[in-house]
Structure 1
Amino acid sequence: MTATLIYCYDPMCSWCWGFRPTWTKLQKSLQDLVDADQLTIQPMLGGLAIDSDVAMPDEMKSKLESTWKNIQASLGTKFNFDFWKTAAPRRSTYPACRACYVARDTGLEEEMYHAIQEAYYLKARNPSDLDTLIECAEQIGMNADGFQKTMQHVKNERLLEEEIEQARHLGLNSFPSLALLIGDKLTPIPLDYKDHSSMLNAIKKALS
């Protein structure tokens, strides 16, 4: 029986950005198990914040900026703090999540995820805005018109919301989170943001 490692994330979650280098190392360390068909890695979108056109209140902006500073201090993660001066942030991550959902169909989910993170955290672009997401789609080789049409379809059919409900049903309520599914047994994998080895050991132990 092939086990499934579920990685629940939101492309606009700053802790997911902080976790990215360690997650990359963990995926590389698991490649032998993936190649041997013992393990499948399945991304799942968490959906931090619903669609909204409302400007983010100053109090929330300050709170999120301070979260970025905390992550930068504890993990060494780079952030472009110009975002809080030049962008018009909204508390809305569903559009960015939909972009990753759309990219999944063409095998480009991880590329889209990384493009959104880099636009947001390094280039001070706003992934709540469709034009930013279209730029990301074109950057990874997707057709802009096709991307926009599929984004609308995913929204109309509430496909993202279905996935978010599935994540909640599995108890994956924080981002990032990892859990190993073997048959109908779900084992949460405790995160270590600085070292992938403890997570690798926990996965191997659960598999044995």
Structure 2
Amino acid sequence: MKILYFYDPLCGWCFAFAGAVKQLKEKYPDWDFEIISGGMVRGVNEGPIGNMSSYILSALPRVEEMSGVKFGAAYREVLKDGTQNTSSVPPSKALAIVKKHFPEQQYSYAEAMQQAYYIEGQDLTSIETHKKLFADLGLPVELLENEFDSEEAMKLALEDFQFSANCGITGYPALVIQKGEEYFLAAKGYTSFEQLANVVDRIIE
């Protein structure tokens, strides 16, 4: 059994869904687990967060009400200021480096990025943010510095984006259970842990 979690660090609903994913991992600690970066914000969608800040600010109350998560004051200030750059590519490269060298830390890193972004308002396109996250998790910062702008990191991130597309994932978060050679969509969009657990229980019966 394997959990495939399709995620994007710039997806607010993924931040809301993080608790359910963590509980699922804790319920099935022996299952394989992998995060697949979706590449939600890239190409023509990259640019200052001000391009989408009005929409995001209007959506935050609903996300908070449905999930119980709270977005930080610093993140709200980033939205109001509107100048911070947004792109899913740099954080997806950082996660790809973690997945390659420290796969057991991938969930912790994804969670750390969400805390840095949605609570502290840090810039996930900056290597300086990721250097701090590496240091906080006890990962080698020098490795990040050597690989962050490498062709390999970009290749791995793009492979995740392509795999997500090949699986027909068009929105985030999404969670798939792999049972042998079969794949089952367990969550599409925000789902509570209770709902998720019920679906997974039916899959494994």
- The 3-state SS of whatever aligns with 1:158 is helix
TM-score scaled by length of structure 1:
0.84
| Kept after mapping to 1: 8 A contact 2:96/2:153 | no
What pairs with 1:48-59 in structure 2 (closer than 5 Å)? 48-50=40-42, 55-56=47-48, 58-59=50-51
- Which residue of structure 1 lines up, in the alignment, with residue 70 of structure 2? 78
Structure 1 stretch displaced more, 9-18 or 195-204 = 195-204
- Correspondence for 1:7 among 5, 17, 26: 5
Return the structure number with greater helix share: 2
- Which residue of structure 2 lines up, in the alignment, with residue 89 of structure 1? 84
Q: Distance in 2 between matches of 1:9 and 1:117?
A: 11
Structure 2 counterpart of 1:29, one-letter code: K
Q: Distance in 1 between matches of 2:42 and 2:170?
A: 15
Q: Distance in 2 between matches of 1:135 and 1:53?
A: 26
| Kept after mapping to 1: 8 A contact 2:47/2:87 | no
- Which residue of structure 2 lines up, in the alignment, with residue 142 of structure 1? 139
Deviation string 1:2-51 (CA, Å, 9 cap, x unpaired) is x22211111221111111122212222223xx2xxxx3222211111226
Superposition deviation, residue 96 in structure 1: 0.8
- The 3-state SS of whatever aligns with 1:131 is helix
- Correspondence for 1:65 among 57, 66, 78: 57
Structure 2 counterpart of 1:71, one-letter code: V
Structure 1 stretch displaced more, 142-151 or 47-56 = 47-56
Q: Distance in 2 between matches of 1:142 and 1:202?
A: 35
- The 3-state SS of whatever aligns with 1:125 is coil
Q: Distance in 2 between matches of 1:192 and 1:91?
A: 21
Question: Quick check: 1:130 aligned with 2:127?
Answer: yes
| Kept after mapping to 2: 8 A contact 1:191/1:199 | no
Structure 2 counterpart of 1:42, one-letter code: E
- Which residue of structure 1 lines up, in the alignment, with residue 20 of structure 2? 22
Q: Distance in 2 between matches of 1:74 and 1:95?
A: 29
Superposition deviation, residue 156 in structure 1: 6.1
Structure 1, unpaired ranges of 5+:
none
Superposition deviation, residue 89 in structure 1: 2.2
- Which residue of structure 2 lines up, in the alignment, with residue 204 of structure 1? 201
- The 3-state SS of whatever aligns with 2:2 is strand
- The 3-state SS of whatever aligns with 2:71 is coil
Q: Distance in 2 between matches of 1:60 and 1:73?
A: 21
- The 3-state SS of whatever aligns with 2:146 is helix
Percent identity for Structure 1 against Structure 2: 18
- Which residue of structure 2 lines up, in the alignment, with residue 41 of structure 1? 33
Q: Distance in 1 between matches of 2:45 and 2:166?
A: 28
Structure 1 stretch displaced more, 46-55 or 95-104 = 46-55
Q: 1:63 to 1:132 in 2, by over 3 A?
A: same
- Which residue of structure 1 lines up, in the alignment, with residue 94 of structure 2? 99
